[in-house]
Structure 1
Amino acid sequence: MQTSLLPKKKKAFIVAIISLSGLFFGGLRPFSTEQEWITWGNRFLNESYDPTVEPKLKKYEITLTPDHFIRLRKTYQQGKQEYYSFNVKRFTNLDYIPGTAATDTLEIKTQTDDIIYQTYEDPKGDIDSMATSWDIPVKKMTQPRVDSLRRALTFLKGKAL
């Protein structure tokens, strides 16, 4: 006679939960294609970016492109624009820096001065420079979420031409 470790009702409940998690969380398999990581990366960046740290910000657009660039364009109320961009193949590290009660910082690092920073229509004069690190204000997040972005960038770095 075979005995079960779990009663039949508990087994059925566990199977139902696992099945439903597949519907809500995209299944249990990890992302494997470039497009899945790009789609996820775009969703992550747009959900996580915290524009509230800059009250004069009129609009922003942050994008992970199919050609593996992360780009951020910010437009301020007076017309000034800031533009950041780097190719993921130059990515070396991602740090999560705790900040205020609502906002933290993601610090992206590259191999050398690989991050483009430009300003347009700046009353103080336009800037065109390069940097090795880029601080992005983000809403509070868990460490597993940060780790998943690091995995995405590392995966895409290996795919970048």
Structure 2
Amino acid sequence: MKKFTLSLKKSVFFSSCLVLCVFSGFNSAEEHTVTIQQLLTKYHDNDALGRDVKRFEINVTNTGFCRYRKVFNNGKQEYFAFNLSRLKSMDYYGNVERGELYLRTKNDDVIVQTRNDKKGDIDSMGTYLVIPLKNINVEQLNELSLNFKQVNESLLVASNK
């Protein structure tokens, strides 16, 4: 009976270790969205926006929404948002010092809103979002692209369930 109990304990121990190892090897969508938000915020180029911009906000949610908001000194606000499941491609135009990241969607999937503008409030749709970046190297751009793909895939799998 002691051999059976010892064998049972060993098998339970190894099984729980195996389960722990398997689940610790996978990154959740939440980890990818946090990484995307951190990279975009860290390398955002405030100088490219000009002195008229008081502040900006980049928010990537666990549900897969990417939001980019600019608030100008005169009170005007520009707001862009899209679901990462609609992301088609990511293009970077520029060099290590300064460039623009284009996040392109499959159709008119980017919500574009302008508030407190002299021309009036405008709501429209677009096919891409442009985020100015600076001091970002190829490895970081590749990491960003990989995280976008991981989130996109996990959102598509979740939507098909």
Query: With structure 1 as the length reference, what TM-score do the two structures score?
Result: 0.76
Cα deviation for residue 140 of structure 1 reads 2.8
Aligned to 2:81: 85
Q: Based on CA coordinates, which of the two structures has the bigger radius of gyration?
A: 2
Aligned to 2:52: 56
- Flag structure 1 segments of 5+ consecutive residues without an equivalent: 1-28
Task: Check if 1:68 corresponds to 2:28.
Answer: no
- Distance in 1, matches of 2:57 and 2:72, equals 12
Aligned to 1:20: none
Q: Does the Cα contact within 8 Å between 1:45 and 1:63 map onto a contact in 2? A: no
1:15-26 correspondence runs (5 A): none
**Taking structure 1 as reference, are residues 157 and 125 closer, same or farther at Cα in structure 2, changes over 3 Å only?**
same
- Distance in 1, matches of 2:133 and 2:74, equals 24
Cα deviation for residue 150 of structure 1 reads 1.0
Q: How many residues align?
A: 132
Please identify runs of 4+ aligned residues in structure 1 that moved more than 3 A: none
Aligned to 1:38: 33
- Distance in 1, matches of 2:25 and 2:41, equals 21
- Distance in 1, matches of 2:26 and 2:144, equals 12
Aligned to 1:7: none
| Per-residue Cα deviation, 1:4-60 (whole angstroms, up to 9, x for no partner) | xxxxxxxxxxxxxxxxxxxxxxxxx98722222122111111101112112110111
Task: Check if 1:96 corresponds to 2:92.
Answer: yes
**Counterpart secondary structure, 1:154:** helix
Aligned to 2:15: none
| Per-residue Cα deviation, 1:64-99 (whole angstroms, up to 9, x for no partner) | 111101101111001000000010000010011016
Percent identity for Structure 1 against Structure 2: 32
Aligned to 1:157: 152
- Cα-Cα RMSD: 1.8
- Distance in 1, matches of 2:127 and 2:110, equals 6
- Distance in 2, matches of 1:113 and 1:152, equals 22
**Counterpart secondary structure, 2:59:** strand
Larger helix percent: 2
- Distance in 1, matches of 2:77 and 2:36, equals 24
Task: Check if 1:139 corresponds to 2:134.
Answer: yes
Q: Does the Cα contact within 8 Å between 1:31 and 1:37 map onto a contact in 2? A: no
The 10-residue stretch of structure 1 (140-149 or 89-98) with the greater mean CA deviation from structure 2: 140-149
- Flag structure 2 segments of 5+ consecutive residues without an equivalent: 1-23
**Taking structure 1 as reference, are residues 62 and 30 closer, same or farther at Cα in structure 2, changes over 3 Å only?**
farther
